[in-house]
């Protein structure tokens, strides 16, 4: 009888932060556990290869460790786990109660059930201040709240706004396009990479508009360029007010009513409702076409996850990929779904 060789388990796709929340909570329910041990056990649970576990973000953090850190923050902010000592997790009564329900997964809707998590998201939306840390991109509340969550957050110099700019610049270059970053942001850097030194970044815009229009365009956060044409324009809104980006978009629409540029507002998922409310104000609807008709919305979270999912075959994608992951800003369209 032939002896069949035992098949090695195939590596699974690297889970995102939300896919890690339930497995992490289950691990913590067994006993108090260190975040390092939890990361190791989760990597084994998802059959991650050594190369996947070694993947690094541009900021120098391990990609998988970063995602486990996100899951930890979400569970803690929902009151499902606490930190009995530095670097260790312990399940709470609330966490045990959730597991007793036998959930198939933990998503944002699940977390929003808990007042602590809703308060966390409200603080995030109000302050609009973000940093990247060794555990991922997290919001930083007021100083008192930040001191209370020092175990979760180790701030670096990069803001989330800068990180999203970097991701869009890199994505544009990977898609074979030239890119432009707002003139006043050229000196910024993310991780070890300075914007001014990024591939495909142009130092001057094609002069196809009048001087006033060009001044507006030069201040847009990120542009993708296809030859002398603007393929896409992105305004990144991580602060409390979203008016600066909307005003640039509306000015552009007013001065160039026949313009054929894909316009995108990129903001945290927690601020989606605010973005939709503001862009549908009469102030931004008096032009033809209205700003909400020509501008689409992408959340930070969706953008990051879709880029990571597309990375293995990024050079085979077309620039229209970005429009496929965006949603309409018009209230009567898919923004209500």
Residue 261 pLDDT exceeds 70: yes
List pLDDT tens digits, range 14-47.
888 888 999 999 999 999 888 888 888 888 888 8
Task: Give pLDDT, residue 22.
Answer: 93
List pLDDT tens digits, range 278-336.
888 777 776 667 777 888 899 888 888 888 888 888 778 888 888 888 888 876 544 34
DSSP character at residue 39: H
DSSP 174-191: HTT-EEEE-GGGTT-EET
Mean pLDDT, to the nearest integer, of 122-127? Answer: 56
User: Which is higher by pLDDT, 83 or 177?
Assistant: 177
List pLDDT tens digits, range 131-162.
333 333 334 343 333 433 433 333 332 367 88
Percentage of the residues of the chain whose pLDDT score is greater than 70: 76
Question: Are the beta carbons of 80 and 117 closer than 8 angstroms?
Answer: no
Positions of CATH 3.40.1350 in the chain: 160-336
User: Which CATH code is given to the segment(s) 17-148?
Assistant: 1.10.10
Mean pLDDT, to the nearest integer, of 93-103? Answer: 93
Residue of 259, 262, 178 lying closest to 224 (CA atoms): 178
Positions of CATH 1.10.10 in the chain: 17-148
Task: Give pLDDT, residue 70.
Answer: 83
User: Which residue has 């591939």 as its token pair?
Assistant: 199
Task: Give pLDDT, residue 210.
Answer: 75
Extended beta strands in the chain, E state: 33-34, 81-82, 88-91, 130-133, 136-139, 178-181, 189-190, 193-194, 222-226, 229-236, 262-267, 295-299, 327-328
Residue 243 pLDDT exceeds 60: yes
Residue 2 pLDDT exceeds 60: no
Give 61's pLDDT tier (boundaries 50, 70, 90): low
User: Using alpha carbons only, what angle is made at residue 217 by residues 213 and 221, rounded to the nearest 5 degrees?
Assistant: 160
Which class is domain 160-336?
alpha beta
Task: Give pLDDT, residue 143.
Answer: 38
Task: Give pLDDT, residue 149.
Answer: 43
The winner for highest mean pLDDT among 166-180, 213-227, 235-249 is: 166-180
């Amino acid at each position: 009888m032939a002896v069949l060789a035992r098949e090695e388990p195939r590596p699974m796709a690297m889970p995102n932060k939300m896919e890690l929340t339930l497995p992490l909570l289950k691990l913590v329910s067994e006993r108090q556990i260190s975040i390092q041990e939890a990361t190791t056990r989760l990597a084994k649970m998802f059959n991650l290869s050594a190369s996947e576990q070694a993947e690094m973000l541009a900021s120098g953090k391990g990609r998988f460790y970063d995602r486990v850190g996100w899951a930890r923050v979400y569970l803690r902010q929902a009151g499902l786990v606490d930190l009995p000592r530095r670097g260790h997790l312990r399940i709470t009564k609330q966490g045990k109660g959730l597991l007793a329900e036998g959930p198939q997964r933990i998503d944002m809707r699940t977390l929003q059930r808990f007042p602590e998590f809703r308060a966390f998201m409200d603080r995030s939306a109000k302050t609009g201040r973000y940093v990247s840390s060794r555990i991922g991109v997290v919001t930083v509340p007021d100083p008192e709240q930040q001191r209370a969550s020092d175990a979760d957050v180790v701030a670096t110099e990069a803001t989330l706004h800068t990180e999203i700019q970097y991701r869009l610049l890199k994505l544009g270059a990977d898609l074979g396009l030239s890119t432009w970053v707002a003139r006043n942001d050229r000196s910024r850097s993310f991780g070890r990479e300075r914007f001014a030194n990024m591939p495909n970044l142009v130092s001057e815009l094609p002069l196809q508009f009048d001087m006033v229009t060009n001044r507006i365009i030069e201040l847009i956060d990120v542009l993708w360029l296809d030859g002398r044409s603007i393929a896409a324009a992105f305004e990144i809104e991580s602060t409390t007010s979203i008016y600066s980006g909307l005003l640039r978009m509306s000015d552009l629409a007013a001065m160039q009513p026949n313009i054929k540029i894909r316009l995108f507002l990129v903001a945290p998922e927690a601020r989606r409702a605010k973005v939709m409310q503001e862009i549908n104000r009469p102030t931004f609807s008096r032009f033809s076409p209205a700003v909400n008709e020509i501008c689409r919305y992408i959340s930070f979270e969706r953008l990051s996850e879709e880029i990571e999912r597309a990375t293995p075959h990024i050079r085979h994608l077309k620039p229209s990929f970005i429009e496929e992951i965006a949603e309409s800003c018009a209230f009567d369209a898919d923004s209500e779904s």
